[in-house]
Amino acid sequence: MEYVYGRLFIDGEWVTPASDRVIDVISAHSEQQIGQVPAGTPDDIDAAVTAARNAFEDPAGWAHWTAPQRAVILNRFADEIESRRDEFARRVSLQNGMPITIARRTEAAAPAALLRYYAELITQHSTEERRPSLLSGTTVVRREPIGVVAAIVPWNFPQCLTFFKLAPALAAGCAVVVKPAPETVLDAFLVAEAAAAAGLPAGILNIVTGGGEVGAHLVTHPGVDKVAFTGSTAAGKAIAEQCARLMRPATLELGGKSAGIILEDFDLSRATQALFGATLLNQGQTCYLSTRIFAPHNRYDEVVDAFTALAANLPIGDPLDRSTVIGPLATRRQRDTVESYIAKGVAEGGRITTGGGRPAGLPHGWYVEPTIFADVDNSATIAQEEIFGPVLSIIRYRDIDDAITQANDSAYGLGGTVWTADADRGLEVARRIHSGSVGINGFALDHGAPFGGVKNSGIGRELGPEGLAAYQQLKSIYLPA
């Protein structure tokens, strides 16, 4: 076995876990075991939250350091992550099947970039502002770190989604307990190694492995001040209920079923790369993808042909091979789910134009061919429910009002795209889409701008200055005249 860890990273040390249970880490490509780590328990969560609480409460601790002092450590943390960049990409790719070229561009690059971005942001802006009071005197408005943060992440982009939380939380002065998904734990251990090497003070970052039960214990722990969760809408709703009872703030980044609207003037032949990135990236296991494609009725066949050609020509295979564009799905369970949606799509009258099965010549690994469904109605199950796999539905629209009405007829609202030769027109359409983010002629997620969803896609925003504000509590101090 390539990777074996026997301890958890709690209070700045590698500690013996509370139980001897383990998580076996399986490769999505080989289906072989590649690693073993301890399975965290509620007792380990208790130890981690206590460590975080003590570190946060320390009157001379991280929360009270100046912004430049924290920035030095955050930049060192970024350096340590960068020096492990290849290993981050490799571990993510081995575990969840993400093609290595995509893992390098996203998972291996985003953590350090985010740490540096938030280090810079905190040094640019003071956390105290003096305002003339509307009565008399002066009011000091302070932005204080919110406290101990529970960060719970899924397996699809484990590093990006960890650092969407960790970088702003640490920058704000918070202490964090991270609970990675059991499917992608090996990269989380590398984060702990980098944090220790960077000199992050003990207790400011703690990592406890485990599944939903361990996550649920963390969410309701009395020592936690804020929950930051990325994952399924079902788990997000359960967490929202718990947090509501506890009056505990929560940022929830949940599922999606975003719309891609192709306007009549758009030349699809010039945008293959951008179309792929916005619809099928990471085998469709990316939350913001435009998986409902709206095509003008008079160009419907042409759009179907273009997507069929795109999907049929994507190189499928070993995610560690640099020429691979489509790897396996992350888990056997995920492949079962995707295959059951494909069957439902057929049963409800959808017409498969390419894919629909498992690729030939790959006897192991949880592979599913990129699949295009034509003749899909927006009310069909495959057009309404999140599949989280390489499956697109192409839906007709009459005119732009019809396209927007159908696009907004969804329980979700996370991403979306508009494809047009006229960027101004694209912006007009984007303004009418009920969603947290929309891309024109592609989807280039900007780390400097807020990202999140409406409706079943969640509550709150990550990234940008707004992502830092999510880890700060406002306090007003009224000074006499």
Answer for the pair 76, 49: CB distance below 8 angstroms, yes or no: no
Nearest to 289 by CA among 386, 376, 183: 386
Nearest to 372 by CA among 344, 353, 348: 353
Tell me the residue number closest to ligand NAD, measured at CB.
215
Integer Cα distance of 395 and 262 in angstroms = 10
In the chain, what's the furthest Cα-to-Cα distance? 79
Q: Which residue lies nearer to ligand NAD by CB, 159 or 230?
A: 230
DSSP H helix total and E strand total for the chain: 16, 23
The number of C-alpha atoms within 13 Å of 72 and in the hemisphere containing its C-beta is 7
Counting residues that bind ligand NAD (by CB under 6 A) gives 30
Q: CA 426: distance to chain centroid?
A: 26
Exactly one of 80, 107, 253, 339 is catalytic; name it: 253
Q: Which residue lies nearer to ligand NAD by CB, 188 or 268?
A: 188
Under rule CB under 6 A, residue 152 binds ligand NAD: yes
By CB under 6 A, the residues from 396 to 415 that bind ligand NAD are 414
Under rule CB under 6 A, residue 386 binds ligand NAD: yes
Under rule CB under 6 A, residue 359 binds ligand NAD: no
Under rule CB under 6 A, residue 173 binds ligand NAD: no
Residue among 9, 155, 307, 443 that touches ligand NAD (CB under 6 A): 155
By CB under 6 A, the residues from 2 to 31 that bind ligand NAD are none
Q: Two tokens at 472?
A: 């700060």
Q: CA 87: distance to chain centroid?
A: 20
Under rule CB under 6 A, residue 365 binds ligand NAD: no
Edge-to-edge strand ranges of the sheet holding 205-207: 13-15, 8-10, 205-207, 175-179, 148-152, 226-230, 250-253, 458-459
Residues 6+ apart with CB under 8 A from 313: none
Residue among 49, 115, 146, 181 that touches ligand NAD (CB under 6 A): 181
Under rule CB under 6 A, residue 223 binds ligand NAD: no
Under rule CB under 6 A, residue 256 binds ligand NAD: yes
Sign, CA dihedral 447-452-260-333, equals: positive
Pairing status of strand 391-397 against strand 290-296? parallel
Under rule CB under 6 A, residue 95 binds ligand NAD: no
Under rule CB under 6 A, residue 215 binds ligand NAD: yes
Residue among 99, 255, 416, 460 that touches ligand NAD (CB under 6 A): 255
Integer Cα distance of 474 and 129 in angstroms = 11
Answer for the pair 177, 191: CB distance below 8 angstroms, yes or no: no
Under rule CB under 6 A, residue 211 binds ligand NAD: yes
Under rule CB under 6 A, residue 388 binds ligand NAD: yes
Pairing status of strand 258-262 against strand 290-296? parallel
- Binding segment for ligand NAD among 18-26, 89-97, 194-202, 247-255 (CB under 6 A)? 247-255
Under rule CB under 6 A, residue 439 binds ligand NAD: no
- Binding segment for ligand NAD among 137-145, 153-161, 168-176, 397-405 (CB under 6 A)? 153-161
298 to 337: interface string for ligand NAD, x by CB under 6 A: ----------------------------------------
253 a catalytic residue: yes
Answer for the pair 335, 301: CB distance below 8 angstroms, yes or no: no
Integer Cα distance of 99 and 96 in angstroms = 9
Under rule CB under 6 A, residue 458 binds ligand NAD: yes
Least distance CB 311 / ligand NAD (angstroms): 20
Least distance CB 283 / ligand NAD (angstroms): 13
Site residues for ligand NAD per CB under 6 A = 152-156, 161, 179, 181, 211-212, 215-216, 219, 230-232, 235, 238-239, 253-256, 287, 386, 388, 414, 453, 457-458
Any idea which residues carry the catalytic annotation?
A: 253
